[in-house]
Amino acid sequence: MFDELTSLLNQEIIPEMNPHQAPPFLKSQTQAHLKTLSICSYIYGGLILVGILFLAVHWYFMKFILKMAEQEEAAKMTQTGEPIPEELFMIMDFFYLFFGIVLIGIAVMNFLSAKGLAQQRMRNLIYVTAVVNCFAVPMGTILGIFTFVVISKQGAVQLFDDQKQVS
């Protein structure tokens, strides 16, 4: 009996852990955080797409209002009323198109980043997307900062490295 007690006391109660490896409970918590960030990134990408629809409606109304103003001036037949230059419409179309393409790019980045967060892949794209999101105050900034905080944790780095070794 005494020998059994001595052998039990000599055993290690807490297994020795690698200092570069996150404990199992931290991995599951980090996976939950990555899943939450993934869902938030999908939602944010969807909101950007709604913003693109708003941009298209805004473009249509601006064109409509400017054409109406031009027709009203022509109807008054005043000597000072000059038609709105076509260059203004071209510049306006260029800016709306440019910002529409930029928003589509940001939405695609957020969707790919969300997929990468869910699969623990594409860490560099996730970092770039977080930087881009930080410029969109306030929601993008909050999402970007939380993304940096979660992705920089030891458990997340290990999950991404483990997934890279598996592939």
Q: Specify the pLDDT at position 61.
A: 95
Q: Specify the pLDDT at position 25.
A: 66
Domain of 112, in residue numbers: 33-77+87-166
38 within some domain = yes
Q: How many domains does the chain have?
A: 1
162 within some domain = yes
82 within some domain = no
* Residue 50: count of CB within 10 angstroms of its CB: 10
153 within some domain = yes
22 within some domain = no
18 within some domain = no
CA end-to-end distance (rounded Å), the chain: 51
Residue 81 makes CB contacts below 8 A (sequence gap 6+) with 73, 74
Q: Specify the pLDDT at position 30.
A: 92
pTM: predicted TM-score of the whole model, two decimal places: 0.78
94 within some domain = yes
Q: Specify the pLDDT at position 133.
A: 97
For residues 23 and 30, what is the distance between their CA atoms, to the nearest angstrom?
Answer: 11
For residues 115 and 120, what is the distance between their CA atoms, to the nearest angstrom?
Answer: 8
CB of 133 closer than 8 Å to CB of 114:
no
Q: Specify the pLDDT at position 6.
A: 66
106 within some domain = yes
Please give the chain's pLDDT, 167 residues, in tens: 667 766 656 665 555 556 666 666 667 899 999 999 999 999 999 999 999 999 999 999 999 998 888 777 766 655 555 677 888 889 999 999 999 999 999 999 999 999 999 999 999 999 999 999 999 999 999 999 999 999 999 889 989 988 888 76
For residues 66 and 63, what is the distance between their CA atoms, to the nearest angstrom?
Answer: 5
Q: Specify the pLDDT at position 163.
A: 82
